[in-house]
Amino acid sequence: MKSLTFLLIFSMLFSCSGTSQEIPTNTKKLSLKEASAVAVSKVSDLIWVAEDSGNKNKIYGLAADGKISHTVTLENAKNVDWEDLTADEEGNLYVGDFGNNDNIRKDLCIYKVNAGDLKNETAFSPSKIEFYYPEQKQFPPKKSELFYDAESFFIYKGNFYIFTKNRSKGFDGTVMLYKVPNQSGNHKAQLLGKFKACDNYHKCAITSADISPDGKKIALLSSSKVWILSDFKADDFLNGKTEMFELNDATQKEGVCFKDNQTLLIVDEKSKKTGGNLYEIKLSDLKSKS
Protein backbone atom coordinates (compact mmCIF):
# COMPACT_ATOMS: atom_id res chain seq x y z
CA MET A 1 0.00 0.00 0.00
CA LYS A 2 1.05 3.59 -0.43
CA SER A 3 2.11 5.49 2.66
CA LEU A 4 -0.88 7.06 4.43
CA THR A 5 -1.08 10.82 4.86
CA PHE A 6 -3.86 12.18 7.05
CA LEU A 7 -5.29 15.63 6.73
CA LEU A 8 -4.25 16.06 10.34
CA ILE A 9 -2.04 13.92 12.54
CA PHE A 10 -0.71 15.39 15.74
CA SER A 11 2.96 15.06 16.51
CA MET A 12 2.09 14.43 20.15
CA LEU A 13 -1.03 12.53 21.12
CA PHE A 14 -2.64 15.28 23.16
CA SER A 15 -1.29 18.37 21.39
CA CYS A 16 -3.53 21.00 19.75
CA SER A 17 -3.48 22.62 16.33
CA GLY A 18 -5.75 25.13 14.68
CA THR A 19 -4.89 24.51 11.03
CA SER A 20 -5.27 21.61 8.65
CA GLN A 21 -1.99 20.12 7.48
CA GLU A 22 -0.35 17.00 6.12
CA ILE A 23 2.26 15.27 8.28
CA PRO A 24 3.97 11.87 7.64
CA THR A 25 2.51 8.96 9.54
CA ASN A 26 5.56 7.82 11.50
CA THR A 27 4.83 9.90 14.61
CA LYS A 28 2.97 7.50 16.89
CA LYS A 29 4.10 3.93 16.38
CA LEU A 30 2.43 1.04 18.18
CA SER A 31 4.23 -2.06 19.40
CA LEU A 32 1.14 -4.11 18.53
CA LYS A 33 1.13 -5.37 14.95
CA GLU A 34 -2.61 -5.98 14.61
CA ALA A 35 -4.45 -3.31 16.60
CA SER A 36 -8.03 -3.90 15.50
CA ALA A 37 -9.97 -1.77 17.98
CA VAL A 38 -9.64 1.31 20.18
CA ALA A 39 -11.72 2.73 23.03
CA VAL A 40 -11.43 5.02 26.03
CA SER A 41 -13.01 4.53 29.46
CA LYS A 42 -13.91 7.32 31.85
CA VAL A 43 -12.36 5.37 34.74
CA SER A 44 -8.97 5.01 33.04
CA ASP A 45 -6.34 7.40 31.71
CA LEU A 46 -5.22 4.78 29.19
CA ILE A 47 -6.29 4.22 25.61
CA TRP A 48 -7.53 0.63 25.24
CA VAL A 49 -6.84 -1.50 22.18
CA ALA A 50 -7.28 -5.14 21.19
CA GLU A 51 -6.03 -7.45 18.46
CA ASP A 52 -8.20 -9.66 16.27
CA SER A 53 -8.25 -13.36 15.30
CA GLY A 54 -5.15 -15.43 15.95
CA ASN A 55 -4.06 -13.23 18.84
CA LYS A 56 -4.29 -13.47 22.61
CA ASN A 57 -7.35 -12.91 24.78
CA LYS A 58 -5.93 -9.64 26.06
CA ILE A 59 -6.75 -5.96 25.97
CA TYR A 60 -3.95 -3.42 26.13
CA GLY A 61 -3.88 -0.02 27.82
CA LEU A 62 -1.73 2.49 25.97
CA ALA A 63 -0.08 5.53 27.50
CA ALA A 64 -0.07 8.93 25.77
CA ASP A 65 3.05 7.96 23.79
CA GLY A 66 1.28 4.95 22.27
CA LYS A 67 3.30 2.40 24.24
CA ILE A 68 1.68 -0.42 26.20
CA SER A 69 1.32 0.60 29.84
CA HIS A 70 -0.94 -2.17 31.12
CA THR A 71 -2.40 -5.47 29.93
CA VAL A 72 -5.55 -7.28 31.07
CA THR A 73 -6.11 -10.94 30.22
CA LEU A 74 -9.75 -12.06 29.91
CA GLU A 75 -9.51 -15.49 31.49
CA ASN A 76 -12.94 -16.80 30.43
CA ALA A 77 -13.01 -15.37 26.90
CA LYS A 78 -11.51 -16.79 23.73
CA ASN A 79 -10.32 -14.50 20.97
CA VAL A 80 -12.10 -16.09 18.03
CA ASP A 81 -12.11 -12.78 16.15
CA TRP A 82 -12.16 -9.69 18.39
CA GLU A 83 -12.97 -6.78 16.10
CA ASP A 84 -14.05 -3.75 18.13
CA LEU A 85 -14.19 -2.23 21.62
CA THR A 86 -16.70 0.12 23.19
CA ALA A 87 -17.26 1.64 26.64
CA ASP A 88 -20.46 2.48 28.52
CA GLU A 89 -21.23 5.47 30.73
CA GLU A 90 -19.88 3.67 33.81
CA GLY A 91 -16.53 2.98 32.15
CA ASN A 92 -17.06 -0.74 31.56
CA LEU A 93 -15.49 -2.01 28.36
CA TYR A 94 -17.05 -4.44 25.89
CA VAL A 95 -15.21 -6.66 23.42
CA GLY A 96 -16.96 -7.46 20.16
CA ASP A 97 -16.11 -11.05 19.19
CA PHE A 98 -18.12 -11.02 15.98
CA GLY A 99 -15.61 -11.07 13.14
CA ASN A 100 -17.13 -13.44 10.60
CA ASN A 101 -15.17 -13.24 7.34
CA ASP A 102 -16.66 -16.41 5.87
CA ASN A 103 -20.16 -15.84 7.26
CA ILE A 104 -20.11 -19.27 8.93
CA ARG A 105 -20.02 -18.46 12.64
CA LYS A 106 -22.86 -19.34 15.01
CA ASP A 107 -21.04 -18.15 18.14
CA LEU A 108 -21.10 -14.36 17.73
CA CYS A 109 -20.82 -12.61 21.08
CA ILE A 110 -19.82 -9.57 23.13
CA TYR A 111 -17.81 -9.80 26.37
CA LYS A 112 -18.10 -7.30 29.20
CA VAL A 113 -15.04 -6.15 31.17
CA ASN A 114 -15.92 -4.47 34.43
CA ALA A 115 -14.49 -0.98 34.89
CA GLY A 116 -12.94 -2.03 38.20
CA ASP A 117 -10.98 -4.80 36.51
CA LEU A 118 -9.12 -2.50 34.14
CA LYS A 119 -6.46 -1.97 36.81
CA ASN A 120 -5.93 -5.73 37.25
CA GLU A 121 -3.76 -8.08 35.24
CA THR A 122 -6.54 -10.66 34.84
CA ALA A 123 -10.31 -10.40 34.67
CA PHE A 124 -13.32 -12.65 34.27
CA SER A 125 -16.08 -11.38 32.03
CA PRO A 126 -19.26 -11.20 34.13
CA SER A 127 -21.49 -11.07 31.06
CA LYS A 128 -21.45 -12.77 27.66
CA ILE A 129 -23.99 -11.34 25.22
CA GLU A 130 -24.64 -13.75 22.35
CA PHE A 131 -26.60 -12.87 19.23
CA TYR A 132 -27.49 -13.99 15.72
CA TYR A 133 -28.75 -12.39 12.52
CA PRO A 134 -32.28 -13.70 11.82
CA GLU A 135 -31.96 -12.79 8.13
CA GLN A 136 -29.10 -15.26 7.67
CA LYS A 137 -30.49 -18.67 6.70
CA GLN A 138 -27.38 -20.39 5.35
CA PHE A 139 -23.86 -20.83 6.81
CA PRO A 140 -22.28 -19.71 4.60
CA PRO A 141 -24.81 -17.98 2.35
CA LYS A 142 -24.33 -17.44 -1.38
CA LYS A 143 -21.30 -15.36 -2.36
CA SER A 144 -23.68 -12.60 -3.39
CA GLU A 145 -25.18 -12.57 0.14
CA LEU A 146 -22.12 -12.39 2.42
CA PHE A 147 -23.62 -9.62 4.55
CA TYR A 148 -22.97 -11.03 8.04
CA ASP A 149 -19.43 -10.11 8.94
CA ALA A 150 -19.02 -7.21 11.39
CA GLU A 151 -16.11 -5.21 12.77
CA SER A 152 -17.96 -2.22 14.19
CA PHE A 153 -20.17 -1.45 17.16
CA PHE A 154 -20.87 0.89 20.05
CA ILE A 155 -23.12 0.96 23.09
CA TYR A 156 -25.86 3.57 23.53
CA LYS A 157 -28.52 3.70 26.25
CA GLY A 158 -28.32 0.02 27.12
CA ASN A 159 -28.10 -1.39 23.62
CA PHE A 160 -25.34 -2.33 21.20
CA TYR A 161 -25.47 -1.06 17.64
CA ILE A 162 -23.59 -3.23 15.13
CA PHE A 163 -22.64 -2.12 11.62
CA THR A 164 -21.96 -4.99 9.24
CA LYS A 165 -19.00 -5.42 6.89
CA ASN A 166 -20.32 -6.43 3.50
CA ARG A 167 -18.17 -9.12 1.84
CA SER A 168 -20.56 -9.97 -0.98
CA LYS A 169 -19.54 -10.62 -4.55
CA GLY A 170 -20.60 -7.55 -6.48
CA PHE A 171 -19.99 -5.27 -3.45
CA ASP A 172 -22.26 -2.22 -3.66
CA GLY A 173 -21.42 -0.55 -0.34
CA THR A 174 -24.52 -1.73 1.54
CA VAL A 175 -24.08 -1.59 5.34
CA MET A 176 -26.68 -3.05 7.69
CA LEU A 177 -27.31 -1.69 11.18
CA TYR A 178 -28.40 -4.12 13.91
CA LYS A 179 -29.47 -3.60 17.52
CA VAL A 180 -28.70 -6.03 20.37
CA PRO A 181 -29.61 -5.50 24.05
CA ASN A 182 -26.87 -5.34 26.67
CA GLN A 183 -28.13 -8.43 28.48
CA SER A 184 -26.72 -11.91 28.94
CA GLY A 185 -28.38 -14.49 26.70
CA ASN A 186 -28.70 -15.33 23.03
CA HIS A 187 -30.51 -12.52 21.22
CA LYS A 188 -32.07 -12.12 17.81
CA ALA A 189 -30.38 -9.02 16.41
CA GLN A 190 -32.88 -6.42 15.23
CA LEU A 191 -32.26 -4.98 11.78
CA LEU A 192 -32.78 -1.22 12.02
CA GLY A 193 -31.89 -0.23 8.48
CA LYS A 194 -29.31 -0.03 5.71
CA PHE A 195 -27.23 2.62 4.04
CA LYS A 196 -24.76 2.79 1.14
CA ALA A 197 -21.14 3.73 1.71
CA CYS A 198 -19.56 3.49 -1.77
CA ASP A 199 -19.04 0.66 -4.22
CA ASN A 200 -15.27 0.20 -3.72
CA TYR A 201 -14.73 -2.58 -1.17
CA HIS A 202 -11.12 -1.70 -0.39
CA LYS A 203 -12.04 1.90 0.40
CA CYS A 204 -15.55 1.61 1.82
CA ALA A 205 -15.93 -1.62 3.82
CA ILE A 206 -16.74 -0.47 7.38
CA THR A 207 -14.14 -1.52 9.97
CA SER A 208 -15.07 0.33 13.19
CA ALA A 209 -17.67 2.63 14.75
CA ASP A 210 -18.24 4.82 17.79
CA ILE A 211 -20.68 7.36 19.19
CA SER A 212 -19.59 10.64 20.76
CA PRO A 213 -19.86 11.08 24.54
CA ASP A 214 -22.81 13.46 24.12
CA GLY A 215 -24.59 10.97 21.84
CA LYS A 216 -24.89 13.46 18.97
CA LYS A 217 -22.41 12.09 16.43
CA ILE A 218 -21.42 8.67 15.11
CA ALA A 219 -18.13 7.91 13.39
CA LEU A 220 -17.78 5.05 10.91
CA LEU A 221 -14.33 4.08 9.66
CA SER A 222 -12.96 2.41 6.53
CA SER A 223 -9.44 2.07 5.19
CA SER A 224 -9.49 5.56 3.68
CA LYS A 225 -12.58 7.38 4.92
CA VAL A 226 -14.59 8.47 7.93
CA TRP A 227 -18.36 8.99 7.85
CA ILE A 228 -19.93 11.25 10.47
CA LEU A 229 -23.64 10.71 11.20
CA SER A 230 -25.44 13.51 13.03
CA ASP A 231 -28.80 15.26 13.47
CA PHE A 232 -30.58 11.98 14.21
CA LYS A 233 -33.37 11.39 16.73
CA ALA A 234 -33.12 8.67 19.40
CA ASP A 235 -31.47 5.69 17.69
CA ASP A 236 -32.74 6.47 14.20
CA PHE A 237 -29.11 6.95 13.23
CA LEU A 238 -29.48 6.42 9.50
CA ASN A 239 -32.10 9.11 8.94
CA GLY A 240 -30.08 12.12 9.97
CA LYS A 241 -27.20 13.88 8.25
CA THR A 242 -24.34 11.84 6.76
CA GLU A 243 -20.99 13.33 5.75
CA MET A 244 -18.05 11.49 4.22
CA PHE A 245 -14.47 12.59 4.87
CA GLU A 246 -11.35 11.47 3.04
CA LEU A 247 -8.25 10.34 4.94
CA ASN A 248 -6.10 10.78 1.82
CA ASP A 249 -4.79 7.22 1.47
CA ALA A 250 -5.60 3.65 2.47
CA THR A 251 -4.01 1.57 5.20
CA GLN A 252 -5.60 -1.21 7.19
CA LYS A 253 -7.38 1.12 9.57
CA GLU A 254 -9.34 -1.03 12.04
CA GLY A 255 -10.36 1.05 15.06
CA VAL A 256 -11.95 4.43 15.77
CA CYS A 257 -13.28 6.05 18.92
CA PHE A 258 -14.18 9.49 20.22
CA LYS A 259 -11.62 10.85 22.68
CA ASP A 260 -14.11 13.68 23.28
CA ASN A 261 -17.02 15.16 21.35
CA GLN A 262 -14.74 16.78 18.77
CA THR A 263 -11.75 14.43 18.56
CA LEU A 264 -11.22 10.98 17.03
CA LEU A 265 -8.58 8.37 17.81
CA ILE A 266 -7.79 5.90 15.02
CA VAL A 267 -5.55 2.82 14.92
CA ASP A 268 -4.36 0.81 11.94
CA GLU A 269 -2.68 -2.57 11.60
CA LYS A 270 0.95 -2.77 10.55
CA SER A 271 1.54 -3.98 7.00
CA LYS A 272 5.10 -3.97 5.69
CA LYS A 273 6.22 -0.33 5.93
CA THR A 274 2.80 1.24 6.52
CA GLY A 275 0.36 1.35 9.43
CA GLY A 276 0.88 0.29 13.02
CA ASN A 277 0.01 3.78 14.24
CA LEU A 278 -2.25 5.68 16.59
CA TYR A 279 -3.71 8.92 15.21
CA GLU A 280 -5.64 11.79 16.75
CA ILE A 281 -7.80 13.95 14.49
CA LYS A 282 -10.05 16.92 15.19
CA LEU A 283 -13.39 16.72 13.39
CA SER A 284 -13.03 20.37 12.42
CA ASP A 285 -9.89 19.55 10.43
CA LEU A 286 -11.49 16.90 8.24
CA LYS A 287 -12.37 17.82 4.68
CA SER A 288 -15.80 16.77 3.42
CA LYS A 289 -16.06 15.06 0.02
CA SER A 290 -19.85 14.75 -0.10
How does pLDDT run across 232-263, given as a tens digit for each residue?
Answer: 999 999 999 999 999 877 899 999 999 999 99
Mean pLDDT within 91-109: 98
Q: What is the pairing mode between strands 253-260 and 82-87?
A: unpaired
User: How far is CA 175 from its chain centroid?
Assistant: 14
pTM exceeding 0.85: yes
Q: Please state, in angstroms and as integers, the Cα–Cα distance from residue 153 to each residue in 61, 96, 180, 210, 282, following that order.
A: 20, 7, 10, 7, 21
Q: Go through the domains of the chain in sequence order and give each one's CATH number.
A: 26-285 (2.120.10)
Spatial separation of the C-alpha atoms in residues 216 and 210, rounded to whole Å = 11
User: How far is CA 129 from its chain centroid?
Assistant: 18
Spatial separation of the C-alpha atoms in residues 254 and 252, rounded to whole Å = 6
DSSP SS3 for 79? coil
Peptide bond into 24 cis (omega under 30): no
What's the pLDDT tens digit per position in 139-148?
999 999 999 9
Spatial separation of the C-alpha atoms in residues 155 and 1, rounded to whole Å = 33
What's the pLDDT tens digit per position in 42-76?
999 999 999 999 899 999 999 988 899 999 999 99
**Nearest residue to 221 (alpha-carbon basis) of 211, 237, 212, 208:** 208
